[in-house]
Amino acid sequence: MKKRICVLEDNDEILEIIKIVLEDENYDVYGFGTVAAFMANYLDLKPDLCLLDVMLPDGNGIEVCEAIKKHPESSEIPVVVMTANSRMDKMREGSNANDFIAKPFDINDFAHRINRLITVDI
Amino acid sequence: MPRERRLKDNQIIQILCRSDDAVAIYTGAEILIEVANPAMQTAWGRDASVIGLTLSEALPEIEDQPFLGMLQEVWKTGIDNVGTAIPADLLIDGKLQRYYFDYAYRAVKDENGQVYAIFHTARDVTEKVNDREELKVAREREELLKREQVLNEELATANEKLIAAQERLRILNHELEDRVVERTAELSRSESRLRYLLSDAPVAIAVLRGRELIVESANKMVLKAWGKTDEIIGKTLPEAIPELNGQGFLDILNAVYTEGEPFYGSEVKALLRQNGKLEEVYFNFVYQPIKDESGNTDGIMITASIVTEQVFGRNQVQHLNEELIAINEELNESQGLLMSTNLDLKASEMRLDKIISQLPVPVVVLMGQDQIIATTNEALLKYWDRTKEEVAGKTMLQVFPELRNQPYPDLWKRVLAGEGPVAKLEIPVTYSDKLGGTEHSFHIDYHCQALTDLGGNNVGVISTILDVTEKVRSRKQIEKAEAQLRLAIESSKLGTWYIDALTREFKPSGRLKQIFGFYEDEDMPYNAATNQILDEYRQLVTEAVDDAILNGTSYDMEYRIKGFRDGAIRWVRATGKLYGEDDNGQASFSGTVQNITERKLEEQRKDDFLSIASHELKTPITTLKGALQLLNRYKDNLSSGIVPRLIEQANGSVEKITNLIDDLLNTTRTKEGQLHLNLSTFIVSKLLDDCCQHVRIGRKHELIVQGDLLLKVEADEARIDQVVVNLVNNATKYAPDSRDIYLLIEDLGHVARISVRDSGPGIPKEKIPHLFDRYYRADYGGAQYSGLGLGLYISAEIIKRHNGEIGVESKLGEGSTFWFTLPKKVL
């Protein structure tokens, strides 16, 4: 069975790129444009990894990360946060995300990081 | 029956004229000779040439004779005049001779009784009148006639005179009557005058009648002197003035009455009751007896004048004279004393002069009302830039006329008048230099007081002058500098503070207290101020202050504080420096505090903006990079369906990046005023129809253009398009559920108004003022929207460049209308 990745990204084009890249890595990718949509569906999907953008129309990826980690059913799921925000270092300090990826990213590096976390998980 | 006459008139006359008697016929009052027969002619001594003449023409010699008068009388009265032996002097043969005639003048009347001729007959009887009696009679008659004539004339004259006299008499009578009336009136006036005169005479006059001395009349003066009223008229003198009893006057009056001789009194004292008191009154008086026709005394007239004052006055003078003599003696004694005192005075004056001359302070002594310069000293002469000779003995105003309009002359006068000493500090005075040209202004400390003589009278003033011009100038400079500093501090809104290095006394300015959230007039000790510093900074700040004080360094820090009252967080920049010891040996530490919250916020916004900008740029770059990298992967499999999509993404991202960079550039350009407008006239509705294709394609929203579809404006079409796109984008971004977006065009006369209306959630009131600020993004509901937040700012700048206006109307829950105006024609 393919591994599942839930992606929270409001920019359609970036989501498309991510989908192409991750599907190439043989993942099933489920994308959500809003925090609400993500939170409503991710648990049911039981993803192997959550990939979160930070700046969202209805919320903040950091908070979503905390919510995931707090939730007993998802506390073990690795979470990757990606952001174009230059204050990423500061974000990193206060967060319990497993990894931070800066935009724009190199797709190979991007794939590598995702793989690492899922593979490790297994 | 009478037969008709055969003779004609002239024949009749002719026959009659043959008479031997003299015959003549006259007519008229002029006695015209109608007929004169030869006999008459002979009698006259004339010939027939007399006929047709008047009698007086024919016989001029009868002029003074009565014949003409008689004839005229006959003519007038119609009464005949007959006479005998009338003498007539006639000029016969050149000789005037007397003849005598018996004559008749007979009046011939017509049927009405009117005389129309005189018939004159005459017979020469000269010879007959040889007879003396006839002559005599004739002469007598002549006499009588003459006398009668004369008498007649006299009578006539007398009559005339009588009439004239009568007239004169009548007039005189009138005059006399008038005069009588006048005289009577005058007399009564005179009488009144006399009465008044007597009554108001400045001399006391009274008339006493009879031995009883009854007061017949008394004028005002005498009544006053007696202290009585006119009630005493009619009373006897003793009754009227009872106090006279025993004073001798009554006896004197009796003597005068008896002897009929006047009595004269000089400066005689009488005691008279006046105003209830017995007063001494002195009189000069006369008792003059009044005598009747028989020469007997029947009254006494008293005339008196009151000489009380003179008598008293004279006594006084005498008294004074005695005193004067006594004073003179005293004076002589004092004179001696004075001489010796004068010598002492001279000595002390010289001492004073010596003291004054040695004083290092300018001193001047001015004497008298004219302020004559009596004493000066070296310091003064130097101050005045004059020599002693130039000023000694002159008045102040002679030497310094420019002082006239300054307060000094008045001041000296007042001190001299005794108003007390005057001390004035730092007062201005202006002197002209010696040549009288340039004026110099000084400030002086001035002291002036009166100089007195032995009697304690002010005779002059002594003034000391201290030139404090420099002191005043420096002080004013310092004051000016301080004022400028205060102004600078106030305008910069700096708070200032001061700490005494030793006592740590902390003195904050009012502004400083305000910054820290206290009231200006409240106490804010050092600890209270440091308490307001946020915990994270407090230690740093206090350590920095201590370090500066201890080591004399300065510091410059930025930190945050919390307002004492309002709790508001503010950014401040504080500087401090240690100042070395001042004149009192005190070191002090002072500095400034400035509220930099605004600046910090601006910096924050810029930081935010930059981070957002970089974030916004990085987003399409991410897509671009991803797309290109994927394309690289698929470069050997270009037919894969994914490739076109990736190329499209790449292009789209580049487009987005370009736009974002344009926005950024626009911001800086508008800021620097470099926004250039490409003007053209276009139809607004067409622009609106053509714009925002990206939105129309998306089909999520409907753009409805309404209003004046033919309205044209002159503007930069591309820039206006940019503005509309921005407003529409905002509408789609912030009101995503508002399906219909209305674009309204209105013609407002000089301007066109274009509005973009949505029916979204609306904008909170407090955000509206900031919407058009740079870097401002009104995020609703805590979420953050993509975009640089420059759109409205740039739109506002574009509209401003067009001299238009931009604004928004919004109500929560009802949607927003963003509008802008453009002048239809560029001016």
- Answer whether B168 touches A (CB < 8 Å): no
The reported pLDDT for the residue numbered B777 is 58
Contact B621 A104 (CB under 8 A): yes
Whether residues B88 and B26 fall in one domain: yes
- Mind listing the pLDDT tens digit for each residue in B673-709? 667 788 899 999 999 988 887 788 777 889 999 999 9
User: What's the ipTM?
Assistant: 0.90
Whether residues B528 and B455 fall in one domain: no
Distance CA A117, CA A49 (A): 8
Residues from chain B contacting residue A24 (CB–CB below 8 Å)? 633
- Mind listing the pLDDT tens digit for each residue in B218-237? 888 888 888 888 899 999 99
Whether residues B816 and B684 fall in one domain: yes
Whether residues B430 and B285 fall in one domain: no
Answer yes or no: are the C-beta atoms of B372 and B394 closer than 8 Å. Answer: yes
Instruction: With cut-offs at 50, 70 and 90, classify the pLDDT of residue B324.
Output: confident
Nearest chain A Cα distance for residue B480, angstroms:
52
Whether residues B281 and B412 fall in one domain: no
Quick one: what percent of chain B has pLDDT higher than 90?
A: 26
Nearest chain A Cα distance for residue B784, angstroms:
6
Residue B280 falls inside a structural domain: yes
pLDDT of residue B778 exceeding 60, the answer is no
Return the residue matching tokens 């109500």: B811
A–B CB contacts, 8 A cutoff, strictly below: 73
3-state secondary structure of B526: helix
Return the residue matching tokens 């309009």: B405
**Token duo for residue B303:** 């005339």
Distance CA B577, CA B605 (A): 32
- Mind listing the pLDDT tens digit for each residue in B509-535? 888 999 998 988 888 888 888 999 999
The reported pLDDT for the residue numbered A17 is 93
Residue B44 falls inside a structural domain: yes
Describe chain B by its helix, strand, coil percentages, rounded to 5. Answer: 45, 30, 25
Report how many helices (DSSP H) and strands (DSSP E) chain A contains, helices first.
Answer: 5, 7
Whether residues B397 and B461 fall in one domain: yes
Distance CA B231, CA B238 (A): 14
Question: Is the backbone peptide bond immediately before B508 cis, with ω within 30 degrees of 0?
Answer: no
Nearest chain B Cα distance for residue A22, angstroms:
11
Nearest chain A Cα distance for residue B623, angstroms:
5
Contact A13 B642 (CB under 8 A): no
Contact A14 B615 (CB under 8 A): no
Report how many helices (DSSP H) and strands (DSSP E) chain B contains, helices first.
Answer: 23, 27
Residue B219: CA count within 13 A, CB half-sphere:
19
Nearest chain A residue to B642 by CA distance is A20
Whether residues B397 and B318 fall in one domain: yes
Q: Where is the domain boundary, B291, B306, B321? A: B306
Contacts of residue B54, defined as CB under 8 A and 6 or more positions apart, other chains included, come to: B30, B31, B32, B33
Instruction: With cut-offs at 50, 70 and 90, classify the pLDDT of residue B776.
Output: low
Q: Any idea what the CATH number is for the domain that residue B752 is in? A: 3.30.565.10
Nearest chain B residue to A34 by CA distance is B783
Instruction: With cut-offs at 50, 70 and 90, classify the pLDDT of residue B465.
Output: confident
Distance CA B796, CA B559 (A): 35
Contact A84 B625 (CB under 8 A): no
Answer yes or no: are the C-beta atoms of B23 and B108 closer than 8 Å. Answer: no
Q: What Cα–Cα distance (Å) separates residue A108 from each residue in A82, A112, B208, B227, B651?
A: 15, 6, 168, 153, 21
Whether residues B302 and B317 fall in one domain: no
Residues from chain B contacting residue A109 (CB–CB below 8 Å)? none
Residue B612 falls inside a structural domain: no
Task: Give long-range contacts, CB 8 A cutoff, 24+ apart: B658-666.
Answer: B660/B613, B660/B616, B660/B617, B660/B620, B660/B788, B661/B617, B663/B788, B663/B790, B663/B791, B663/B794, B664/B613, B664/B788, B664/B790, B666/B790, B666/B794, B666/B797
pLDDT tens over chain A, length 122 residues: 889 999 999 888 899 999 999 999 999 999 999 999 999 999 999 999 999 998 888 888 999 999 999 999 999 999 999 988 767 777 788 788 999 998 899 999 999 999 999 876 55
Q: What Cα–Cα distance (Å) separates residue B584 from each residue in B500, B548, B580, B587, B588?
A: 12, 21, 11, 9, 11
Distance CA B305, CA B203 (A): 5
Q: What is the mean pLDDT of residues B645-649?
A: 88
Distance CA B133, CA B466 (A): 153
Residue B697 falls inside a structural domain: yes
Contact B625 A106 (CB under 8 A): yes
- Answer whether B629 touches A (CB < 8 Å): yes
Contact B623 A11 (CB under 8 A): yes
- Phi/psi zone of residue A46: left (φ > 0), alpha (ψ -120 to 50 degrees), beta? left
Beta strands in B729-805 (DSSP E): 740-747, 751-757
- Residue from A9, A19, A53, A107 whose CB has the most chain B CBs within 10 Å, to mutate: A107
Instruction: With cut-offs at 50, 70 and 90, classify the pLDDT of residue B781.
Output: very low
Residues from chain B contacting residue A104 (CB–CB below 8 Å)? 618, 621-622, 624-626
Contact B627 A17 (CB under 8 A): yes
User: What is the largest distance, in Å, between two alpha-carbon atoms of chain A?
Assistant: 37
Residue B52 falls inside a structural domain: yes
Residue B611 falls inside a structural domain: no
- Residue from B612, B616, B623 whose CB has the most chain A CBs within 10 Å, to mutate: B623
Residue B574 falls inside a structural domain: yes
Beta strands in B93-210 (DSSP E): 95-109, 115-124, 204-209
Which helix (DSSP H) or strand (DSSP E) does residue A50 occupy?
strand A49-53
pLDDT of residue B783 exceeding 50, the answer is no
Within 10 Å of residue B74's Cβ, how many Cβ atoms? 23
- Answer whether B649 touches A (CB < 8 Å): yes
Nearest chain A Cα distance for residue B562, angstroms:
25
User: Bigger pLDDT: B820 or B718?
Assistant: B820
Contact B626 A11 (CB under 8 A): no
Nearest chain B residue to A11 by CA distance is B619
Number of domains comprising chain B: 5
- Mind listing the pLDDT tens digit for each residue in B95-150? 888 888 899 999 999 999 999 999 999 998 888 777 766 667 777 788 888 888 88
Task: Specify burial of residue B417 (Cβ count, 10 A radius: 0-12, 13-18, 19+).
Answer: exposed
| Listed residue (B214, B245, B243, B213) closest to B228, CA to CA | B243
Q: What is the mean pLDDT of residues B276-300?
A: 90
Distance CA B326, CA B322 (A): 7
Instruction: With cut-offs at 50, 70 and 90, classify the pLDDT of residue B366.
Output: confident
Q: Where is the domain boundary, B258, B281, B306? A: B306
Which helix (DSSP H) or strand (DSSP E) does residue B704 occupy?
strand B702-707
Nearest chain B Cα distance for residue A47, angstroms:
24
Contact B649 A16 (CB under 8 A): yes
Q: What Cα–Cα distance (Å) separates residue B176 from each residue in B189, B324, B489, B726, B781?
A: 19, 72, 117, 137, 141
Quote the DSSP letter at residue B109.
E
* Residue B129 main-chain phi, psi, to 5 deg: -85, 45
Nearest chain A Cα distance for residue B536, angstroms:
18
Distance CA B559, CA B571 (A): 6
Residue B143 falls inside a structural domain: no
Average pLDDT of chain B, as a whole number: 85
Contacts of residue B273, defined as CB under 8 A and 6 or more positions apart, other chains included, come to: B227, B243, B279
| Listed residue (B606, B432, B611) closest to A102, CA to CA | B611
Of A16, A17, A55, the CB nearest to B615: A55
The reported pLDDT for the residue numbered B827 is 60
Whether residues B216 and B319 fall in one domain: no
Nearest chain A residue to B641 by CA distance is A20
Q: What is the mean pLDDT of residues B773-784?
A: 52
End-to-end CA gap in chain B: 157
Of B622, B624, B642, the CB nearest to A20: B642
Contact A17 B614 (CB under 8 A): no
Nearest chain B Cα distance for residue A113, angstroms:
15
- Mind listing the pLDDT tens digit for each residue in B748-766? 988 999 999 999 888 888 8
The reported pLDDT for the residue numbered B350 is 80
Distance CA B580, CA B596 (A): 29
Residue type, B798: I
Whether residues B223 and B265 fall in one domain: yes
Whether residues B458 and B581 fall in one domain: no
Q: Where is the domain boundary, B100, B124, B148? A: B124
Answer yes or no: are the C-beta atoms of B758 and B738 closer than 8 Å. Answer: yes
Which helix (DSSP H) or strand (DSSP E) does residue B460 occupy?
strand B458-467
- Answer whether B645 touches A (CB < 8 Å): yes
Beta strands in B231-334 (DSSP E): 263-274, 277-291, 297-306
Whether residues B358 and B402 fall in one domain: yes
Which helix (DSSP H) or strand (DSSP E) does residue B333 occupy?
helix B308-358
Q: Any idea what the CATH number is for the domain that residue B266 is in? A: 3.30.450.20
Contact B626 A107 (CB under 8 A): yes
- Mind listing the pLDDT tens digit for each residue in B402-418? 888 888 888 888 888 88
Q: What range does the domain containing B434 cover? A: 312-467
Within 10 Å of residue B230's Cβ, how many Cβ atoms? 13
